[in-house]
Structure 1
């Protein structure tokens, strides 16, 4: 994608009537249309929460629609979705990238928004995203708006610790969707569980059908390489069920690491500069242990352990300030599991051929 977008499908600033100028009815009629796409697979435990939040928006009901794209669920997801009267499309055996594209193909709106089937959005979500997009009406290189994702208030204490840790620089590598950023800014990528796109961007670009994890990072990398940006607003947050156990944390981060390595190998470039650090740390630890064993002197391993303890102490303090609980003492364990899992996955992604 090399040409500047000319706003073909988008409706921005000038076409949106300001509140109170011509009355509520006129404003509602001129609000941009939005298609919200939810990709799901075997999500009976959570998808009802997602759809309940989407069907209770302050945005005019006749100006947005909800489309659920299912990858071939076998757990009754279809029956749950039917209770909410939204459109339900099935792409049997399709990955996340392909399902997102099916939703894009179905959309005929000015904007396309995405959230995930383990999320819940605030009632003002669409209003906030569309209003924020309108502030960039004169910038054709801003193609979308996104925000952070946070644990549900009802999630377990462990899940909330994971969320707080991922809000630190060591937990996210300053990825905007996870890192605790306090001001609006332009970024190269946002999370697809909380994003609204100008539909015009999809006239010339799509998600990669073959990418099942990290599909948003891959698409946004291509957009970023062409000069496009997203507005990240920390006030537009969605609730997201994060890893509830150490095992789930391991599996998720291992899959993230594998996906990021494969995507970067395909493009021949670093998409996220910090992505190789966990694997490098694992390799450095093995090399340090081997060197200490060979010389029968404990020199390098204690140094690496001290560095880890310093980083863990910093992250623990940050999490304690955020959560105010002694359970913050578990942060070094969460830190170690997340980095080891991501590092192992990244190494696998570099060495194992794509399926």
Structure 2
């Protein structure tokens, strides 16, 4: 007789069999296996079904695999949740690798301090490339993001993200599933908080997150993040905090300093030089790698300028000019990959 698992791991997948293979290997290595894995393949042309079938048949993984037409990652997550059996839903991205004590840690933390919704930080595994580690620094450093993704020091109340997020079945039954939009995890966390549920950071329950493998893809990703912050502001007036505007402000100040440095005096470039030096030193201390520290500088510039320009673009278009669809229509129409 099967026992209902405490945790259901929900993972939407789109053409990522190699990543899923790494994720599955890390789940098979868990010291506590009180979970099921629910994979929803979102119309992939390069599916991962063989990997899941092999892990289930020959290695004892408790997993379910579903394939559906491509509609977006949020719809895929909702499809998986409808078919999950656990008391809690745990969300990972397909490019995550899970430390072996993750679920033992999560169980211990929830038993001692129950939460309706929770999340944990992400880090870079030693096997990741130097570029991936530099991007991880840019996304997690206080100097670049204000520590809002689970850092020890943060400028904003912690908001769980779907690379490492969980909530109870009761939350799902009350709030419903994810909306198909960019930054859908922030939207979900906001709805959960507004419904009166408890939300917290479980710092020891971290994951290794591969993120983007090159700077061009990284820029596109953070540019969309910046644009989606305006969507969230329109959905939830008053939700925008000072930390969300800082990258846009940094872009404006940075451009002004560069222009002044070119046309007035090179001394105007000094503040930029000091800031970039601080990033380099911070990354060097944290990673103990000269190569990663050197790459962390352009990665941080990309993180700030990508987010900042996306924010400015959406602010001008949607707020100043009032262009685009009605916000609720936009949420229903937008597709994610």
TM-score normalised over the length of structure 2 = 0.81
- In the other structure, the counterpart of 1:47 is 20
Corresponding residue number in structure 2 for 1:113: 90
**Aligned residue for 2:244?**
275
Q: Which residue in 2 is equivalent to 1:5?
A: none
Match of 1:247 among 213, 216, 226: 216
Q: CA deviation at 1:288?
A: 6.4
CA positional deviation for 1:320: 0.7
Task: Provide the C-alpha distance between the structure 1 equivalents of 2:42 and 2:49, rounded to a whole number of angstroms.
Answer: 11
Partner of 2:309: 344
Checking the alignment, whether the CA contact within 8 Å between 1:34 and 1:64 is kept in structure 2 is: yes
Aligned position for 1:97: 74
Indicate the SS of the match to 1:204. helix
> Which deviates more, 155-164 or 263-272?
263-272
Give the deviation of 1:43 after TM superposition.
0.5
Which residue of structure 1 aligns with residue 40 of structure 2?
69
Q: Partner residue of 2:327?
A: none
Q: Which runs of 5+ in 1 are unaligned?
A: 1-28
Query: Rg bigger for which structure?
Result: 1
Between the aligned partners of 1:206 and 1:97, the Cα distance in structure 2 is: 12
SS at 1:88 equivalent = strand
The aligned residue for residue 22 of structure 1 is: none
Q: Report the CA distance shift for 1:234/1:136 in structure 2 as closer, same or farther (over 3 A).
A: closer
The structure-2 alpha-carbon separation of the partners of 1:307 and 1:42, relative to structure 1 and needing over 3 Å to count, comes to same
Q: Deviations over 1:50-102 (max 9, x none)?
A: 12222332224xx4211001211111333333332321123322222222222
1:247-298 CA distances to partner (integer Å, 9 max, x unpaired)?
Answer: 12212211222222222223233345322222233334556677x59xx962
Secondary structure of the structure 2 residue equivalent to 1:45? helix
Cα distance in 2 for partners of 1:268, 1:68 equals 35
User: SS of 2:71's equivalent?
Assistant: coil
**Distance of 2:310 and 2:52 partners within structure 1:** 33
Partners of 2:29 and 2:289 lie apart in 1 by: 34
> Gaps spanning 5+ residues in structure 2: where?
57-62, 319-323, 325-329
Q: What CA distance in whole angstroms lies between the structure 1 residues aligned with 2:183 and 2:17?
A: 23
Provide the C-alpha distance between the structure 2 equivalents of 1:35 and 1:226, rounded to a whole number of angstroms: 22
- Contact 1:69–1:88 under 8 Å retained in 2: yes
Deviation sequence 1:87-122 (CA, Å, 0-9, x none): 112332222222222222222321111111111112
How far apart, in 2, do the equivalents of 1:145 and 1:210 lie? 21
Report the equivalent of 1:58.
31
Partner Cα separation in structure 2 for residue 101 and residue 130 of structure 1: 24
Are the aligned partners of 2:42 and 2:67 in contact in 1 as well (CA < 8 Å)? yes
RMSD between superposed Cα atoms in Å? 3.0
Residue deviations 1:148-185 (CA, integer Å, cap 9, x gap)? 111222111122122233332122221133x3x289xx
Displacement of 1:216: 1.0
Q: TM-score, normalised by structure 1?
A: 0.77
Give me the whole-angstrom Cα distance separating, in 2, the residues matched to 1:289 and 1:125: 46
